Amino acid sequence: MTSQDLPERVAVTPAAATMLVQLRAQHGPLMFHQSGGCCDGSSPMCYPDGEFLTGDADVHLGDLAVVPDGVADGVADGGEPFTVPVWMSKAQYEYWKHTHLTIDVVKGRGAGFSLETPEGVRFLIRSRVLTDEEYGALAAAGVV
């Protein structure tokens, strides 16, 4: 089984994808690292790709595929599809691995150094429990 065949672990809503198009136009290639802990913990933090150093302590959950639809919030996006890698600390993933994550965006006043905060919005994780089939496939591939 190739990685393309594996069940998806992370996805993005259309509204969040639109925000990613805008942020990419402003900041260049992007990444997410899923936070934990207090205050704004459990929020997906969006940074310029490479700003946050990932390493052996992290898991790469997947790449969000974003296909721009022309213009997002008045920002020309160039129209090229792009991907945004999503990371989480390995220790945290042990407690999250039975769930599928979708990155959404809501109105708000986020914190941390996430890029969307000045836009008056906040990325938010929505979760569902993986089906037995999905989890079984991931387990068989040794990724959970």
Partner 1 sequence: MTVYAAPGTEGSVATYRERYDHWIGGEFRKPVNGRYFENVTPVTGKVFTEVARGDADDIEAALDAAHKAAPAWGRTSATERAIILNKIADRMEENLEKIAVAESWENGKPVRETLAADIPLAIDHFRYFAGAIRAQEGTISQIDENTVAYHFHEPLGVVGQIIPWNFPILMAVWKLAPALAAGNAVVIKPAEQTPASILFLMEIIADLLPPGVVNIVNGFGVEAGKPLASSSRIRKIAFTGETTTGRLIMQYAAQNIIPVTLELGGKSPNIFFDDVAAERDAYYSKALEGFTMFALNQGEVCTCPSRALIADEIYDSFLGDAIERTKLVKQGNPLDTTTMIGAQASNDQLEKILSYIEIGKGEGAEVLLGGHRAELDGDLAGGFYVAPTIFEGKNSMRIFQEEIFGPVVAVTSFSGFDDAIATANDTLYGLGAGVWSRNTMTAYRAGRAIQAGRVWTNNYHAYPAAAAFGGYKGSGVGRENHLMMLDHYQQTKNLLVSYSPDELGFF
**Residue 49 DSSP code:** T
Q: Does 115 bind partner 1 (CB under 8 A)?
A: yes
Contact 126, 44 (CB under 8 A): no
Member of 15, 109, 139, 140 binding partner 1 (CB under 8 A):
109
User: First CA to last CA across the chain, in angstroms?
Assistant: 15
CA angle at 69 for the pair 63 and 73, rounded to the nearest 5°: 100
Q: Does 76 bind partner 1 (CB under 8 A)?
A: no
**Residue 25 DSSP code:** H
Cβ at position 75, least distance to partner 1 in Å: 17
**Residue 101 DSSP code:** E
**Residue 117 DSSP code:** G
Member of 99, 134, 135, 143 binding partner 1 (CB under 8 A):
99
Nearer to partner 1, 21 or 121 (CB): 121
Site for partner 1 (CB under 8 A): how many residues?
41
Tell me the H-state helices in 49-104: 90-96
Nearer to partner 1, 48 or 71 (CB): 48
Cβ at position 70, least distance to partner 1 in Å: 26
What does the binding site for partner 1 look like in residue numbers (CB under 8 A)? 33-43, 45, 47, 51-53, 89, 91-92, 95-96, 99, 106-115, 117-118, 122, 124-129
